Amino acid sequence: MKTVAEVKSKTDIVSVVSSYVPLKKAGRHYTACCPFHSEKTPSFTVSPELQIYKCFGCGESGDVFSFVQKYEGISFFEALKSLAGKVGVEIVTKSRGADGKKMELMDANEIAAKYYHYILTQTKMGEEALKYLLEVRQIDRETIDAFQIGFAPNTYDNLNNFLINKRKLHPNAVVDSGLAYRNDRGSVVDRFRGRVIFPLSNASGGVVALAGRILPSLAKEGVPKYINSPETAIYHKSEALFGFYQAREAIRREGEVIVVEGELDMISPWQRGVKNIVAIKGSSLTEGHASFLSRFTNSVILALDSDFAGNSAAIKGVVTSENKGLSVKVCELPGKYKDPDEASRGDIYEFQKALKSAKAFWDFLFDVMRVRFNPQTTTGATQMARAMVPFLAQIQEPIVASKYARRLSELVGSSEASVVEAIKKHKLGKEGGKEEPGTSLAKKTDDVGSSDRREKLVRQVFFSSLLTKPSELLGKYRSLFTERKQEIVLSLLEEYLSKNKDFDIKGFVSSLPPEIASGITDEILMYEGGDEMEKDLNFAYSQILIGDLKEERLRLINKLKSIDSESENAEFTALQVEIGELTNRIASLDKADYNRNSPQ
Q: Looking at the predicted structure, is the pLDDT value of residue 441 above 50?
A: no
In the prediction, which pLDDT does 433 show? 44
Strand order in the sheet with 150-152: 150-152, 195-201, 207-214, 226-228
Contact status, residue 18 vs residue 6, Cβ threshold 8 Å = no
CATH numeric code, 2-87: 3.90.580.10
- What is the average pLDDT across 496-507? 84
Helices (H), ranges, 200-328: 244-254, 263-271, 287-293, 312-323
Q: Looking at the predicted structure, is the pLDDT value of residue 524 above 80?
A: no
Q: pLDDT tens-digit profile of 288-314?
A: 898 888 878 889 999 986 566 666 777
Q: pLDDT tens-digit profile of 85-109?
A: 888 887 765 555 566 788 889 889 9
Q: pLDDT tens-digit profile of 37-48?
A: 877 788 899 999
Domain boundaries, the chain: 2-87, 98-300+334-352, 374-430, 453-596
Q: Distance from first CA to last CA of the chain, Å, rounded?
A: 54
Mean pLDDT taken over the chain: 84
CATH for 98-300+334-352, options being 3.30.9.10, 3.90.980.10, 3.40.50.300, 3.90.950.20: 3.90.980.10
The secondary element (H helix, E strand) that includes residue 574 is helix 570-597
In this prediction the pTM is: 0.66
Burial class of residue 221, CB neighbours in 10 A (0-12, 13-18, 19+): exposed
Q: pLDDT tens-digit profile of 122-168?
A: 999 999 999 999 999 999 999 999 999 999 999 999 998 999 989 98
Helices (H), ranges, 190-311: 244-254, 263-271, 287-293
Encode burial over 90-127: b for 16+ CB neighbours within 10 A, e otherwise: ebeeeeeeebebbbbbbbbbbbbbebbbebbbeeeebe
> To 5 degrees, how large is the angle CA 236–CA 227–CA 210?
55
Contact status, residue 273 vs residue 348, Cβ threshold 8 Å = yes
